[in-house]
A and B are shown apart, each in its own frame.
Chain A
Amino acid sequence: MSTEDTPHKDADERSVGLVSTQYVDLFVPPHSLKVAEGNLLGPVHVAYETYGTLSEKRDNAIFVCHALTGDAHVAGRHSAKDEKTGWWDELIGPGKGLDTNKYFVICANVLGGCQGTTGPMSPKPGTETPYALEFPFVTIGDMVEVHAALVRHLGIERLLGAIGGSLGGMQALEWAARFPDMLRTAVILASGPRLSAQGIAFNAVGRRAIVTDPHFYKGNYYNQDDDPHFGLALARMVAHITYLSEASIEKKFGRRLQHSDQFAYELMRETEFQIESYLHHQGKRFVERFDANSYLYLTRAMDYFDLAKSYGSLPEAFSATQSRFLVTSYTTDWLFPIAQSREIVSALIQARRHVTAVELESPYGHDSFLLEVDQLEEMLKPFLAEAYATK
């Protein structure tokens, strides 16, 4: 079941080593997936990776839910030449927070994504043409539905845990509410039961940047010479600001200039300040790996997510789950401020669930859940180990 190849000779002992993405078709006819507005979707192609070994009892599986623009490649390298590891490599590996000597870790790209799982880039069934904006609306509930189907496909009836930050945390919450018997722990990092109006506002600006790009072609840019990469890069730049904190920007860039000690007094120079240059760089890198239509779908799914509304109330959403919860928030996160986590905790207390909650001090803003790995690991290890040992 493991994708773990023999580790590369030079690879760090605490790395999962070389891994490869796997694919499976789920919801194949006669089955199909009923999404958001009742549309039917299928088959659904799912890209996923696994690390570690599934135990004989199949009771050691942990599902990693990725954030907005993440993917299934969460740890290790795809090839020896790969410079970059998976996006949460610091947390996942032998002896690490999610210890692959002990646990079987699964990560899959979300429905509506563009990293191998069915989304607007995928061809419409029976054609060669991509869905583009004909792709049906999908919700976070639909994403979790697909992932639950993947978990069952892997022969696992009950996960030891679901863990995620930001949009990933929303998925983990949805897991607990939708599949109360499939989850023994849920780890919710820098997340909330809904996105704030401020968060929706930033998403709106991002989407606006994409759809007003002259190369958007109403979403049908796949066969054109150009695509809306300026709009997509701009969307990323705006979003990226919400991931940082005032303090972290100040510390990392301040008002320092990029090219010289003096102002250039050139209006059209786009990278006068270091922070500008950094944002442009982030935007540029992002368009190399992400699809604009996918960005529209996923941000909308995030805007629409409202756990209380879907289940009547927050305590109601948690009324059936048997899961233990670990909820962490970060002092400088303003996209998902601490109050959002407190709301989850309060509802969990009211629903009489097993909840542990920590507010971590970090200067890194929303990105803290990716960067403060040591602090997270320190809690995650005993939390998971105890849950795993308890039947």
Chain B
Amino acid sequence: MSTSRPKEKRRYKMPSPSAALTDRVIMEHIDEGSRVLDLGCGDGLLLSELRRIKSAEILGVEMSRRAMIQCMTAGVPVIQADLDLGLEDFPSQSFDFAVLSQTLQQVRHPHVILEEMLRVANRALVVVPNFGHWRVRWNQLLWGRAPVSSSERYQWYNTPNLHLMSMPDFRDLVDVVEGRIVKELAIIRGRAVEQAWAANVRADSAVYILERKSADAHAPLP
């Protein structure tokens, strides 16, 4: 009596070799007992770890039905939503942290989602690939090839990445959305480095902790 299953929608969060590392970095920067929203939460692994280790109150947002069912199997609460359509059903400041890992470059309007994160949460934790990496520059300069992120194995025609930004580009965007960078961590050869030398040349990706510019001063980060 029921219809055939609708086609699987595309996933935002693609498996990335640096995911385990960035998940660990995210984990380190989330306070015990926080309320955390993970946008593009995939199978909910990060969230269930946050619940287990940090006693976090968690909620995921995901578009893929298959991934949502994985969340349900793990007891991770999850809302089906298209990040391109914003977070209008999410009340303002209802979370301590909003996480967006390796997803910003894949949404249609990065500035909108960033603004929304700073609206619904006190802090935004964002992981972005760095297309300012020397290998990207090298390929562009020497061979005239389209930029492909060094940490993800995609070609220009099959990449889910719609927007290619470097670290300074991202910093500019944070300004545009009235945000403030609380912390910047460059992911260089499998390590998260604070205040790295020539980060924009060396980093595969970067982790940012953001706040609203107008937000009251927070307790110092661990």
Let me know if B159 is at the binding interface, CB within 8 A.
Answer: no
Interface of chain B residues 31 through 85 with chain A (CB within 8 A): 35, 57, 59, 65, 68-69, 71-75, 77-80
* From A356, A382, A390, residue with most partner B Cβ within 10 Å: A356
Instruction: Enumerate chain A residues within 8 angstroms of B217, measured Cβ to Cβ.
Output: none
A347 closest partner in B (C-beta): B91
Which residue from B2, B74, B94 sits with its C-beta under 8 Å from A371? B2
B2 touches A373 (CB 8 A): yes
Instruction: Enumerate chain A residues within 8 angstroms of B69, measured Cβ to Cβ.
Output: 378-379, 382
Let me know if B89 is at the binding interface, CB within 8 A.
Answer: yes
User: In the complex, how many angstroms separate the beta carbon of B90 from the nearest chain A beta carbon?
Assistant: 6
Instruction: Enumerate chain A residues within 8 angstroms of B89, measured Cβ to Cβ.
Output: 342, 345-346, 349
A352 touches B80 (CB 8 A): no
Instruction: Enumerate chain A residues within 8 angstroms of B90, measured Cβ to Cβ.
Output: 346, 349
A349 touches B3 (CB 8 A): no
Which residue from A350, A359, A387 sits with its C-beta under 8 Å from B75? A387
Rounded to whole angstroms, the CA-CA distance of A382 and B73 in the bound complex is 5
Rounded to whole angstroms, the CA-CA distance of A345 and B78 in the bound complex is 11
Which residue from A90, A354, A358, A386 sits with its C-beta under 8 Å from B74? A386
Rounded to whole angstroms, the CA-CA distance of A357 and B61 in the bound complex is 10
Rounded to whole angstroms, the CA-CA distance of A312 and B2 in the bound complex is 39
Instruction: Enumerate chain B residues within 8 angstroms of A356, measured Cβ to Cβ.
Output: 68, 71-72, 77-79
Instruction: Enumerate chain A residues within 8 angstroms of B35, measured Cβ to Cβ.
Output: 352
B7 closest partner in A (C-beta): A361
A341 closest partner in B (C-beta): B89
Can you name 6 extra interface pairs (CB under 8 A) apart from A379-B68, A390-B75?
Answer: A345-B79, A355-B77, A356-B72, A357-B79, A375-B2, A387-B75
Contact with B along A332-344 (1 / 0, CB 8 A): 0000000000100
A355-B77, A379-B69, A382-B72 are contacts. A349–B94 as well, Cβ < 8 Å? yes
Rounded to whole angstroms, the CA-CA distance of A90 and B35 in the bound complex is 38
Which residue from A352, A355, A372 sits with its C-beta under 8 Å from B79? A355
Instruction: Enumerate chain B residues within 8 angstroms of A387, measured Cβ to Cβ.
Output: 75
A386 touches B59 (CB 8 A): no
User: In the complex, how many angstroms separate the beta carbon of A330 from the nearest chain B beta carbon?
Assistant: 11
Instruction: Enumerate chain A residues within 8 angstroms of B74, measured Cβ to Cβ.
Output: 386
Instruction: Enumerate chain A residues within 8 angstroms of B79, measured Cβ to Cβ.
Output: 345, 349, 355-357
Rounded to whole angstroms, the CA-CA distance of A372 and B5 in the bound complex is 10
Which 4 residue pairs are nearest across A and B when measured between Cβ atoms? Answer: A386-B75, A382-B73, A382-B72, A374-B2
A324 touches B77 (CB 8 A): yes
Let me know if B220 is at the binding interface, CB within 8 A.
Answer: no
B positions within 8 Å CB-CB of A: 1-3, 5-6, 35, 57, 59, 65, 68-69, 71-75, 77-80, 89-91, 94
Instruction: Enumerate chain B residues within 8 angstroms of A374, measured Cβ to Cβ.
Output: 2, 5
Rounded to whole angstroms, the CA-CA distance of A358 and B35 in the bound complex is 21
Query: How many A-B contacts are there with CB distance less than 8 Å?
Result: 66
User: In the complex, how many angstroms separate the beta carbon of B142 from the nearest chain A beta carbon?
Assistant: 47
B80 touches A357 (CB 8 A): yes
User: In the complex, how many angstroms separate the beta carbon of A313 from the nearest chain B beta carbon?
Assistant: 12
A375 touches B68 (CB 8 A): no
User: In the complex, how many angstroms separate the beta carbon of A210 from the nearest chain B beta carbon?
Assistant: 31
User: In the complex, how many angstroms separate the beta carbon of B83 from the nearest chain A beta carbon?
Assistant: 14
In the complex, 14 of the A-B residue pairs with CB atoms within 8 angstroms, ordered by the A residue number, are A345-B89, A350-B94, A355-B77, A356-B68, A356-B71, A358-B68, A358-B80, A372-B2, A382-B69, A382-B73, A383-B72, A385-B73, A386-B73, A390-B75
Instruction: Enumerate chain B residues within 8 angstroms of A358, measured Cβ to Cβ.
Output: 65, 68, 80
A372 closest partner in B (C-beta): B2
Rounded to whole angstroms, the CA-CA distance of A379 and B75 in the bound complex is 12
* From B68, B72, B77, residue with most partner A Cβ within 10 Å: B72
Let me know if A362 is at the binding interface, CB within 8 A.
Answer: yes
B59 touches A375 (CB 8 A): no
Rounded to whole angstroms, the CA-CA distance of A349 and B94 in the bound complex is 8
B57 touches A352 (CB 8 A): yes
Let me know if A363 is at the binding interface, CB within 8 A.
Answer: yes
B2 touches A349 (CB 8 A): no
Instruction: Enumerate chain A residues within 8 angstroms of B6, measured Cβ to Cβ.
Output: 361
Instruction: Enumerate chain A residues within 8 angstroms of B57, measured Cβ to Cβ.
Output: 352
Rounded to whole angstroms, the CA-CA distance of A324 and B57 in the bound complex is 13
Rounded to whole angstroms, the CA-CA distance of A90 and B79 in the bound complex is 26
A346-B91, A349-B59 are contacts. A386–B72 as well, Cβ < 8 Å? yes
User: In the complex, how many angstroms separate the beta carbon of B168 from the nearest chain A beta carbon?
Assistant: 35
User: In the complex, how many angstroms separate the beta carbon of B96 from the nearest chain A beta carbon?
Assistant: 11
Contact with B along A241-257 (1 / 0, CB 8 A): 00000000000000000
